[in-house]
Amino acid sequence: MSVPVIAGLGTAHPPSADQQELWEKFFSQHFSGSTRALAERIFAHSGVTRRQAAVNPLLEDVSDWPTERRMLRYQVEALPLGKEAVGRALTAAGLDARDVGLFVVCSCTGYATPGLDILLARDLGMAATTQRMFVGHMGCYAALPGLGAVGDFVTARGRPALLLCAELTSLHLQPSSARMDTQQIVSHALFSDAAVAAAVVPGGRGYAVREVASVTDTSTADHMTWEVTDTGFRMGLSPKVPQVLSAHVRGLVDEVLARHGTRRSEVDGWAVHPGGPRILNVVERELGLAPEALAASRETLNDHGNCSSPTVLLILDRLFRSAPAPRRVVMLAFGPGLTLYAALLERSA
């Protein structure tokens, strides 16, 4: 059986925007009254300094666009972003597009048929026999089940596979006339755009995917939602999410590590999805981590915001490029369900 190894990562970002400038020149006018004061505090404490936007509200306000128009724009913006990320991942892994046996695309911010998987496979010159899978509506944790799928394919078939996570949250800015509760303000303050691809091969140098595991607390399914409306997709984000994570994250991590004869103290790389500063604080506390253990997650939040599914891969890329690179990495991501996903990676020779 082949060991699946992440041999290359590729990232792509649309232009950056300064968080304070976004607040002062757009969002401060988007809210009014007591809601404006609340929004200003949330933006100031978001942990975000810069984020990226394919559709920057300072240049183009899409908040009143119907969903159909947003979806047409998704195709225009997502295709070149995904192509850039995939090209970089293939180059890093020393692969040709025709080598890819399975191409998995994760995205919850746009839909089209033919989808990104078909259009990118065509434009990049993948073989007609390349298998494809599109993962939608899993939200922020989608990278990890996607990684599990490509890892299983590599193990079973002994052929390379490719994962792409591409999200354009900037397309789902809600109109100022809409109900602006705290959940919606948090969404506007945190979310960002990005694409990240991971090339996974049978054996060799890189990071071996030892396990991908999950736990879902369906009793809290209403705590995180992503509703399709006539004016884009609307986020629902309960303030109780950190409380649910605190009840499950330690058990999930310890069970995964125990199956591989490993303890938390032996993990020297943590890629934890920064759903927001409170999420990182809860994970740090529940796992008994030193503050510096989540530095890569906090830096990614600061520099890129919450990009939904690509975010945990952005953190992984930051860890891989650090010196010295970690030997053993735990990835954690969270999303609708409420669902917690974990993956254990180990550096191979």
Render 176-187 in DSSP notation, one character per residue.
Answer: TTS---HHHHHH
| 96 pLDDT higher than 80 | yes
Judge if 27 and 175 occupy the same domain: yes
How many angstroms separate the CA atoms of 341 and 339, rounded?
7
Judge if 220 and 91 occupy the same domain: no
In angstroms, the Cα distances linking 119 to 123, 130, 139 are 6, 13, 22
Judge if 165 and 312 occupy the same domain: no
Q: Which pLDDT tens digit goes with each residue over 233-243? A: 999 888 899 99
| 1 pLDDT higher than 80 | no
Judge if 108 and 235 occupy the same domain: no
- Give me the active site residues, please: 140
Judge if 88 and 225 occupy the same domain: no
Judge if 194 and 225 occupy the same domain: no
Question: Which runs of consecutive H residues, i.e. helices, occur in the chain?
Answer: 19-22, 28-30, 33-44, 67-93, 116-124, 143-157, 182-190, 241-258, 277-287, 295-304, 311-320
Judge if 259 and 190 occupy the same domain: no
Q: Give the per-residue pLDDT at 180.
A: 67
Judge if 89 and 183 occupy the same domain: yes
Q: Tell if the pTM clears 0.75, that is, is over it.
A: yes
**Mean pLDDT, range 107-114, rounded to an integer:** 94
In angstroms, the Cα distances linking 341 to 10, 97, 130, 247 are 22, 29, 27, 14
Q: The domain spanning residue 194 has which CATH number?
A: 3.40.47.10
Give the percent of the chain with pLDDT over 90.
Answer: 90
Judge if 234 and 145 occupy the same domain: no
Q: Domain of 326?
A: 206-348
Judge if 9 and 140 occupy the same domain: yes
